[in-house]
């Protein structure tokens, strides 16, 4: 219902927005920074049209130097829009193959040089992990949903998978836990009432902190920090 509202309120601008994003993905002369600026602008307008307000906390925790990875909880398709509006720095993301052909999401993926992972193909999955590690080592930023699939239980988390952190450990990069709160509401709720989605950027875990930890232990610790942040930001709701 909310997607329909977004499209309806942007009916005359939508084709132009789509073309801009498509062009960013096809034209190799467009820099990642330029592509991100286009996608960010479109996202902000779409969120406003859909009557969704994004509240961001902890932006100061984003590392000053590029070459880091976000690890948020996963509540649905709207999650990526939260980060595209709130994050001031360009980033790519990894999503499951099944979602990579969704209209517009596919074009955003191409514009931001992102990856789709086939969880049933071990060889392809390992190649994505290596590609992300290489990109992050070269100074790009990435986001991975460590639960592997979305939670369908509100703000409660699924277990975080250790394998999701292999790119980070290979790149020896900062790991930034991120807490999404009520990101499921915009697209799951059959309503167009104004809603607020929160994102909390938590202090990063640097390589020195996690270098002796197993990936399953890193996953558990990141999950714990996110759950703690969600509890703090929802205790008065």
Name the packing angle between helices 32-49 and 78-86 (round to 10°).
Answer: 120
Whole-number CA gyration radius for the chain:
17
Query: pLDDT per position in the chain (237 positions), as tens?
Result: 888 999 899 999 999 999 999 999 999 999 999 999 999 999 999 999 999 999 999 999 999 999 999 999 999 999 999 999 999 999 999 988 888 888 899 999 999 999 999 988 989 999 999 999 999 999 999 999 999 889 999 999 999 999 999 999 999 999 999 999 999 999 999 899 999 999 999 999 999 999 999 999 999 999 999 999 999 999 766
CATH of the domain at 177: 3.40.1130.10
* Contacts by residues 160-165 (CB-CB < 8 Å, ≥ 24 positions apart): 160/71, 160/219, 160/220, 160/222, 160/223, 161/219, 162/214, 162/215, 162/216, 162/217, 162/218, 162/219, 163/129, 163/215, 164/71, 164/215, 164/219, 165/71, 165/215, 165/218, 165/219, 165/222
CA distance 103 to 136: 27
CA distance 108 to 39: 7
How many independent structural domains does the chain possess? 1
Segments forming the whole domain that contains residue 140: 2-234
Q: How far apart are alpha carbons 148 and 91 in whole angstroms? A: 19
Map tokens 């290979």 to a residue: 170
Report how far Cα 219 is from the mean position of its chain's Cα atoms: 17
Q: Confirm if 199 and 155 have CB atoms less than 8 A apart.
A: no
Cα within 13 Å of Cα(196), Cβ side: 6
CA-closest candidate to residue 90, choices 133, 54, 40, 27 = 40
| Per-state percent for the chain, helix, strand, coil, to nearest 5 | 50, 15, 35
């Amino acid at each position: 219902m909310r997607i329909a509202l977004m499209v309806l309120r942007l009916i005359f601008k939508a084709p132009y927005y789509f073309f801009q994003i498509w062009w960013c993905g096809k034209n190799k002369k467009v820099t990642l920074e330029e592509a991100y600026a286009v996608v960010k602008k479109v996202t902000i307008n779409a969120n406003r049209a859909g009557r969704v307000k994004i509240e961001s906390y902890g932006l100061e925790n984003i590392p000053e130097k590029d070459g880091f990875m976000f690890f948020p909880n996963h509540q649905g398709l709207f999650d990526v829009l939260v980060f595209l509006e709130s994050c001031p720095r360009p980033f790519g993301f990894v999503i499951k193959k099944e979602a990579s052909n969704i209209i517009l999401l596919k074009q955003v993926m191409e514009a931001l040089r992102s990856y789709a992972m086939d969880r049933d193909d071990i060889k392809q999955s390992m190649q994505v992990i290596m590609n992300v590690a290489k990109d992050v080592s070269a100074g790009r930023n990435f986001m991975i949903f460590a639960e592997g699939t979305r939670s369908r239980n509100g703000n409660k988390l699924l277990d975080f998978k250790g394998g999701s952190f292999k790119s980070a450990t290979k790149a020896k990069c900062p790991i930034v836990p991120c807490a999404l709160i009520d990101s499921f509401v915009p697209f799951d709720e059959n309503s167009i009432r104004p809603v607020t989605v929160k994102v909390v950027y938590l202090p990063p875990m640097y390589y020195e902190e996690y270098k002796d930890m197993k990936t399953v232990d890193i996953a558990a610790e990141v999950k714990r920090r996110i759950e703690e942040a969600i509890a703090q930001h929802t205790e008065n709701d």
